[in-house]
Homo-oligomer: A and B are copies of this chain.
Amino acid sequence: MIKDLRNEISLKERQHYLDMALEYTRECRLLINSTVLSGLKVNFKTDGSLVTTADIEAEKLFRRRVEDTFPEFGVIGEEFGASNPNADFQWIIDPIDGSSEIANGMPLFGTIIGLHYKGQPLIGVIDHPAFNICCYGGYGLGTFCDGKRTMLVDFENDHFDGTERIGTATRSNFMRYGDDSHLFDKLVKAHPNVRIYFCCYIHTCAINGSLDATVEWNIRIWDIAATRVLVEEAGGKFELIRQTEQPGVGTVYCAVFGKPKLVADIVKILKDTPSSKIVV
């Protein structure tokens, strides 16, 4: 068995990082809510995706706070790239996951904050400012949603009747780098009771058990920075389906997470599909 490098960090130290992550989260939430109230400005990035003043200002705030408190740590953010990329500790932020949703007045968006140690997720927070919902936790510390410890209850058997509740990315996401649309089609045929939110609220729901499992496709490190540790500490399963390097983009991830028996079933469906790219 491979030693989990995260045990090099004491529980007390992990709790301190979680406390700090929650402090940053609260500050970002206040800033995002006040930016929405005073009028969000929307711009387009070079890749055609949206960015708002709330994205920019929340990431700036986070980076300033981390640089003050942990100057030797790395920071990776969706809007301003990486600093200290060789540090063991990496703070990762997506200030607003779901920029197109917040820009369209939809409250499902969230802030994702993670702290990784030697490539392993140590601390995770997913916060939904407009919902007043926050999931947070850390390796060996448990997962909490709105202060309550969260434990997923797995299915009793591995036969599914189509009523199981799954979340997934849009079909567009499955076609972003090459055409994986056959995997979307196969997934929703096998598990038709599907939700599509286009932001990290499908992660939150797989973590707190509102959904039974979630499939994410072609997302970046800041989209997934908090999810694995939160799912695993809630007793769920996180499976990385694929990790590829996309030229001019960077590393792109596909993953399934949630209740273990359903995750295993979904992994089997995606593996059984002829595709040279699947790496599970």
Interface residues, chain A, with chain B CB atoms under 8 Å away: 100-101, 104-107, 130-131, 133, 162-163, 165, 170-172, 174-175, 181, 184-185, 188-189, 192-198, 205, 208-211
Contact = CB atoms under 8 A, between A and B. Distances in A.
A100 B163 CA distance: 11
Nearest to A145: B105
Nearest to A187: B171
A73 B189 CA distance: 44
Given A130-B131, A171-B192, 14 more contacts: A100-B165, A104-B211, A105-B208, A105-B210, A106-B210, A107-B133, A162-B172, A170-B193, A170-B195, A171-B189, A171-B193, A181-B192, A195-B196, A195-B197
A187 to B, nearest CB: 10
A19 to B, nearest CB: 25
A154 B63 CA distance: 40
A interface: dominant SS: loop
A194 B193 contact: no
A179 B130 CA distance: 38
Contact of A192 (B105, B163, B175, B205): B175
A101 to B, nearest CB: 8
A172 to B, nearest CB: 4
A213 to B, nearest CB: 14
Given A107-B131, A172-B162, A194 B192 contact: no
